[in-house]
Amino acid sequence: MTSGLRSSTTHTDVEAIVVGAGGAGLWAALELAREGIPTAVLTKLYPTRSHTGAAQGGVCAALGNVEEDHWEWHMFDTIKGGDYLADQDAAEVLAREAIPAVIELERMGLPFNRTPDGKIDQRRFGGHTRNFGEGPVRRSCYAADRTGHMILQTLYQQCIKAGVKFYDEYHVVDLVFEGGEANQGGRCSGVVGYKISDGTLHVIRAKAVLLATGGYGRAWRVTSNAHSLTGDGMSLAWRHGVPLQDMEFYQFHPTGIVGIGILLSEAARGEGGYLLNDSGTRFMETYAPKLMELAPRDMISRAIYQEVRAGRGIGGRDYIHLDVRHLGRKVIEEKLPDITDFARVYQGVEPISEPVPVQPTAHYAMGGVPTNLETEVLADARGTVVPGLFAAGEVACVSVHGANRLGTNSLVDLLVFGKRAGIRMAQICKSTSQPGSIQGAERAVRDELLELSTRPTGVRPAEIRRELAALMMDNVGVYRDEALLGAAVKRITALKLEYANVRVEDTGSVFNTDLLEARELGYLLDTAEATAVSAYARKESRGAHSREDFPERDDAKFLAHTLVWRGTEGAAASTIDYKPVTITKFEPKPRVY
């Protein structure tokens, strides 16, 4: 019988491995190349297909090019935006190092929009303020509304220039450890890659492995995320004993295209767009009178739900309007061309003359694989480092975003910490020796993949995926309570059992996307479980985690990061621990805008 696998396995030695070729992975690879470290970058796509390229609005850095700004203000906004759950030492690194990172990108060739005097232009963005909350500030550096595209292109171009070795369309299906799993003092010593074009397994050994695999938005039905965002890195680490941190904090972006979730950037509001309810009222007046449409995303998403619940959605339905008509054709076409195109193509709406229907869409994981400031993965609440394993970008939780991420800070995060990852990994590569042989390390995952691809009967992966996505939308969405979350945990546990019977129809070994989608569904189930379990345990409301049964923030009990470990097969994760938030400059205060 044929299967999705070929029997041959290749073995390769490098010093560093980067898994994922979005912004964080590419910058790390660039730093490693600068230090002359032999590196392999594995991506299940081509690098230019990575989801960093979908980011639209900009990247914040307190350059002060168009008005006064300071990194301390950016740091404060990040912490307040995150409802005081961000580690303040990490937020400080983010805000300080954003400035040289953006300058370096310009020097690499990124075509930023310019001010009349030729500097990098900057515009407003949600939650970014002057003088600790006084009003909006122009902090977001941008290249029209395709900033992420230009970041991805620029970093990939520089990697080509530096001769970085890419393994395009290699799906990493396992991490290799020696001396035990991550929670037993083990060291990460390599990865197992699956070459999509021919179904062969590739065992690659290295001293340092970076997870830069992005998020898991595909766990929800309405999402802005690419099909490829299935939580691979988080799940693989979790399976090897690494805890996941703050998974209950998942951001819903307020302005997704109704039904399909494609994002209409916050840049539309940064340029002055309005949010209107059925009676044409700018309803943010009620919820955030100072910042209005530029309030943080979690607050606006909740406001939209409140308006819809009160019957003030458009025509009584579950969406509201984003209105940019008053900005005029020139601004709309020159500064917001991509999102104008999205509205035209996907909704048949002309933003120059019509308001655009929008609703919240699952967008970004604040949580993920816990790391320290050097991007080293942590095994527990005490901060024990997992040797050889690193994480940066959305897959990681440093934590800079706390309970809610501000707009543009995802790009800032992947630039600053992608760079730090490369620098730290290069140091580690120079100061440690190669791990022992990892011959045969592919056996476990080979058996799993063989079993998955030769099961004669069973359910289609799509059926489970659809049910999971609907469940996450209904029960683990913008508003939550004990009953919804309890039911979600129970149902996800049951879906995981059903997953054991999933059947792959494609029995070939060439480009078997059926097999890979089934594998990815396993990752989604893991990350969904970690999210629901962590959300169930956090009996307060903070940032993006809104419990209707516990509507207040509870600093006495929950000013802490959640850590959750994976359970044994067939049982929901039940081991949870909390670790304190690092507070340096800003004492927690009520969060009003």
Partner 1 sequence: MTSNGSVELKIQRFDPERDAAPHWQTFTVPVEPMDRVLDLLTRAKELFDGSITFRRSCAHGVCGSDALLINGRNRLACKLRVEQLGKSVTVAPLPGLPIVKDLVVDMDGFFDKYRSVQPYLVASPVEGSGERLQSQEQRDRFDDTTKCILCAACTTSCPSFWAEPEYVGPAAIVNAHRFIFDSRDENAEARLDILSDEDGVWRCRTTFNCVEACPRGINITKAILEVSSAISAQE
SS3 466: helix
- Give the type of residue at 371: T
Q: Pick from 70, 96, 119, 455: which binds partner 1 (CB under 8 A)? A: 119
Helix (H) or strand (E) holding 95: helix 88-108
CB of 64 to partner 1, least distance (A): 11
- The contact pattern for partner 1, residues 48-77, with x = CB under 8 A and - = no contact, is xxxx-xx-----------------------
CB of 114 to partner 1, least distance (A): 5
CB of 226 to partner 1, least distance (A): 4
If the CB atoms of residues 164 and 484 are measured against partner 1, the closer one turns out to be 164
CA distances from 535 to 470, 546, 575 (A): 17, 9, 14
- The contact pattern for partner 1, residues 189-218, with x = CB under 8 A and - = no contact, is --------x---------------------
Helix (H) or strand (E) holding 209: strand 208-211
- Report yes or no: 194 and 201 within 8 Å, Cβ to Cβ: yes
> Should residue 346 be labelled a site residue for partner 1 when binding is judged by CB under 8 A?
yes
Q: Is 473 exposed, middle or buried (0-12, 13-18, 19+ CB in 10 A)?
A: middle
> Should residue 145 be labelled a site residue for partner 1 when binding is judged by CB under 8 A?
no
> Should residue 500 be labelled a site residue for partner 1 when binding is judged by CB under 8 A?
no
> Should residue 557 be labelled a site residue for partner 1 when binding is judged by CB under 8 A?
no
Diameter of the chain measured on Cα atoms: 68
> Should residue 160 be labelled a site residue for partner 1 when binding is judged by CB under 8 A?
yes
If the CB atoms of residues 284 and 504 are measured against partner 1, the closer one turns out to be 504
If the CB atoms of residues 325 and 344 are measured against partner 1, the closer one turns out to be 344
If the CB atoms of residues 100 and 179 are measured against partner 1, the closer one turns out to be 100
> Should residue 226 be labelled a site residue for partner 1 when binding is judged by CB under 8 A?
yes
- The piece of 187-195, 221-229, 242-250, 399-407 that touches partner 1 (CB under 8 A) is 221-229
CA distances from 144 to 105, 150, 332, 339 (A): 16, 10, 11, 10
Place of tokens 């020097």: 107
Place of tokens 């962590």: 534
- For residue 203, the tally of other CB atoms under 10 A from its CB is 22
> Should residue 342 be labelled a site residue for partner 1 when binding is judged by CB under 8 A?
yes
Which residues are registered as beta bridge partners of 456? none
Reply yes or no on whether 480 is catalytic: no
Helix (H) or strand (E) holding 191: strand 187-195
- Give the type of residue at 33: A
Is the sign of the CA dihedral 437, 441, 443, 446 positive or negative?
A: negative
Task: Count CA atoms closer than 13 A to 583's CA, side-chain side.
Answer: 16
- For residue 549, the tally of other CB atoms under 10 A from its CB is 12
Cβ neighbors of 289 (< 8 A, separation 6 or more) are none
Torsion of CA 334, 335, 337, 338, to 10 degrees: 160
- The piece of 42-50, 126-134, 374-382, 530-538 that touches partner 1 (CB under 8 A) is 42-50
CA distances from 319 to 309, 315, 357, 536 (A): 10, 9, 6, 27
Cα–Cα distance between 585 and 562 in angstroms, integer? Answer: 22
> Should residue 554 be labelled a site residue for partner 1 when binding is judged by CB under 8 A?
no
Cα–Cα distance between 310 and 304 in angstroms, integer? Answer: 10
Helix (H) or strand (E) holding 15: none
> Should residue 165 be labelled a site residue for partner 1 when binding is judged by CB under 8 A?
no
Q: Pick from 157, 281, 306, 582: which binds partner 1 (CB under 8 A)? A: 157
- The contact pattern for partner 1, residues 448-467, with x = CB under 8 A and - = no contact, is ------------xxx-----
Q: Pick from 89, 106, 354, 374: which binds partner 1 (CB under 8 A)? A: 106
CB of 111 to partner 1, least distance (A): 5
Cα–Cα distance between 338 and 321 in angstroms, integer? Answer: 18
CB of 390 to partner 1, least distance (A): 24
> Should residue 509 be labelled a site residue for partner 1 when binding is judged by CB under 8 A?
yes
Which residues are registered as beta bridge partners of 269? none
- Span 242-261, contacts to partner 1 by CB under 8 A: 259-260
> Should residue 589 be labelled a site residue for partner 1 when binding is judged by CB under 8 A?
no
> Should residue 143 be labelled a site residue for partner 1 when binding is judged by CB under 8 A?
yes
# binding residues, partner 1 (CB under 8 A): 65
> Should residue 158 be labelled a site residue for partner 1 when binding is judged by CB under 8 A?
yes
CB of 588 to partner 1, least distance (A): 34
CB of 514 to partner 1, least distance (A): 4
> Should residue 483 be labelled a site residue for partner 1 when binding is judged by CB under 8 A?
no
- For residue 158, the tally of other CB atoms under 10 A from its CB is 22
If the CB atoms of residues 160 and 444 are measured against partner 1, the closer one turns out to be 160
Single out the catalytic residue among 221, 297, 547, 591: 297
> Should residue 543 be labelled a site residue for partner 1 when binding is judged by CB under 8 A?
no
- Report yes or no: 259 and 267 within 8 Å, Cβ to Cβ: no
> Should residue 345 be labelled a site residue for partner 1 when binding is judged by CB under 8 A?
yes
Residues at the interface with partner 1 (CB under 8 A)? 2, 45-46, 48-51, 53-54, 100, 102-103, 106-109, 111-114, 116-120, 143-144, 146, 149-150, 153-154, 157-158, 160-161, 168, 197, 226-228, 259-260, 262, 338, 341-342, 345-348, 460-462, 504-514
Catalytic residues: 297
